[in-house]
Amino acid sequence: MKRLSSSRTDHNKIFKALEIATIVATSLILAYLAIISIEGLQVLWAPSTQVSEPYTVIKVEAYQFGWRFIYPNGSSSSTLYLEKGKLYRLDITSRDVAHAFFVPELGLKIDAIPGYINTLWVKVDKPGKYTLVCAELCGVGHYAMIVDIIVE
* CB-nearer residue toward Cu ion: 99 or 101: 99
* CB-nearer residue toward Cu ion: 85 or 114: 114
**Letter string b/e over residues 72-98, b meaning 16 or more CB atoms within 10 A of that residue's CB:** eeeeeeeebebeeeeebbbebbbeebe
* CB-nearer residue toward Cu ion: 55 or 96: 96
Question: Residue 9 phi/psi, 5° resolution?
Answer: -65, -40
Can you tell me whether residue 114 is helix, strand or coil? strand
Write out the residues near Cu ion by the rule CB under 5 A.
99, 134, 136, 138, 142, 145
DSSP letters, 33-61, are HHHHHHHHHHHHH-TGGG--S--EEEEEE
For the bound state, the minimum distance from the C-beta of residue 93 to Cu ion, rounded and expressed in Å, comes to: 14
For the bound state, the minimum distance from the C-beta of residue 71 to Cu ion, rounded and expressed in Å, comes to: 23
For the bound state, the minimum distance from the C-beta of residue 77 to Cu ion, rounded and expressed in Å, comes to: 19
For the bound state, the minimum distance from the C-beta of residue 75 to Cu ion, rounded and expressed in Å, comes to: 25
Can you tell me whether residue 108 is helix, strand or coil? strand
* CB-nearer residue toward Cu ion: 58 or 147: 147
